[in-house]
Amino acid sequence: MEKNAKIYIAGHRGMVGSAIHRKLKSEGFTNFVVRTSAELDLREQSAVREFFDQERPEYVFLAAAKVGGIMANNIYRADFLLENLQIQNNVIDSAHRVGVQKLMFLGSSCIYPKLAPQPLREDYLLTGLLEPTNEPYAIAKIAGIKLCEAYRSQYGSHFISVMPTNLYGPNDNYDLNNSHVLPAMIRKFHEAKVEGKPFVELWGTGSPRREFLHANDLADACYFLMQHYDEPELINIGVGEDVTIKALAELIQQVVGYEGQIHWNTDKPDGTPRKLMDVGKLHGLGWKHSIGIEEGIRATYQDFLKKIESYAV
């Protein structure tokens, strides 16, 4: 990418989009075009087409999506399927229509079959049934991957798809109703510390293993791949290592400085025993993560403290 190239980041205020924005600015890029969801509704085809016709970006990072926790995914199944299809279809097709030089579509590890072998390799896509609770979201993301492949096949478009593992970092969501496990734990331990609670209750046994990638590392990988990867197949972005939920909880407890106990509610479900990405393809290209999990959690806790005013403690 040329330093003066016009770059459109869809979803620039979210955790992923904002990290990509910061990374590109740090590398000397200055010609950005961004719109908030209030300024441009990506679900509206005519609005997206008009935007692309006017702005004509040269590179596109498609990090915008309708997202939520397990409960929201399961309840609003039609919304998650339809709205994500609308966003993807409109942006990808408009990028093709105005001759965007390269587009990156960001997916999710939930695209892989529920019972796929570990670690999750790129060629496991569409080899089995999906996790039922977030199937609509996963189906939409798979459709986005296949749409990028189809435009590449039919028109020669330089559209690539990347699949990040579990993410955390600046601009994460700490709402306990729909946040992911790591930011939820940060908030729970902090509130227990402030309120002097004797223990924090967490779900399950703590035995499942999960992989976590800092958003800044993801942005670094996206920048790297935009320059060095141009293949039809999707590519995983992760660290290639995982930790138990118990070890994660104890690390966050230490970082927050909470001195009470952890009570594991074993009546609650554990979820999938393991979700680890195979990142051999990415490592083979020469990229590896640089932010260790303890360092990343410490920085994320500081981000949470800056936002604490917006959360009721």
- CATH number, position 200: 3.90.25.10
Count of domains observed in the chain: 2
If asked whether residues 198 and 222 sit together in one domain, one would say no
pTM score: 0.94
If asked whether residues 202 and 143 sit together in one domain, one would say no
174 part of a folded domain: no
Q: Would the annotation count 13 as a binding residue?
A: yes
CATH number at residue 160: 3.40.50.720
**Burial of residue 267, with CB atoms counted within 10 A of its CB: 0-12 exposed, 13-18 middle, 19 or more buried:** exposed
Q: Would the annotation count 167 as a binding residue?
A: yes
286 part of a folded domain: no
Q: Would the annotation count 16 as a binding residue?
A: yes
Which one is catalytic: 8, 59, 112, 137? 137
If asked whether residues 200 and 122 sit together in one domain, one would say no
6 vs 223: CA distance, rounded Å? 15
160 vs 183: CA distance, rounded Å? 29
Q: Would the annotation count 243 as a binding residue?
A: no
88 part of a folded domain: yes
285 part of a folded domain: no
Task: List the domain range (segments joined by +) for residue 297.
Answer: 181-209+242-275+293-310
142 vs 125: CA distance, rounded Å? 8
If asked whether residues 218 and 269 sit together in one domain, one would say no
If asked whether residues 118 and 255 sit together in one domain, one would say no
**Among the three residues 237, 253, 284, which one is the final residue of a domain in this structure?**
237
If asked whether residues 159 and 100 sit together in one domain, one would say yes
Q: Identify the three-state secondary structure at position 232.
A: coil
> pLDDT by residue for the chain (313 residues), tens digit each?
999 999 999 999 999 999 999 999 999 999 999 999 999 999 999 999 999 999 999 999 999 999 877 778 888 999 999 999 999 999 999 999 999 999 999 999 999 999 999 999 999 999 999 988 889 999 999 999 999 999 999 999 999 999 999 999 999 988 877 778 899 999 999 999 999 999 999 989 999 999 999 999 999 999 999 999 999 999 999 999 999 999 999 999 999 999 999 999 999 888 778 889 999 999 999 999 999 999 999 999 999 999 887 665 4
CA distances from 148 to 205, 232, 259 (A): 40, 8, 49
Q: Would the annotation count 68 as a binding residue?
A: no
If asked whether residues 118 and 46 sit together in one domain, one would say yes
What are the residues facing 201 on neighbouring strands? Answer: 263
If asked whether residues 153 and 252 sit together in one domain, one would say no
144 part of a folded domain: yes
159 part of a folded domain: yes
Q: Would the annotation count 127 as a binding residue?
A: no
106 part of a folded domain: yes
If asked whether residues 106 and 200 sit together in one domain, one would say no
If asked whether residues 106 and 189 sit together in one domain, one would say no
Tokens for 62, please give them.
Answer: 């498609």
Q: Would the annotation count 260 as a binding residue?
A: no
If asked whether residues 156 and 260 sit together in one domain, one would say no
1 part of a folded domain: no
If asked whether residues 52 and 148 sit together in one domain, one would say yes
Q: Is 151 a catalytic residue?
A: no
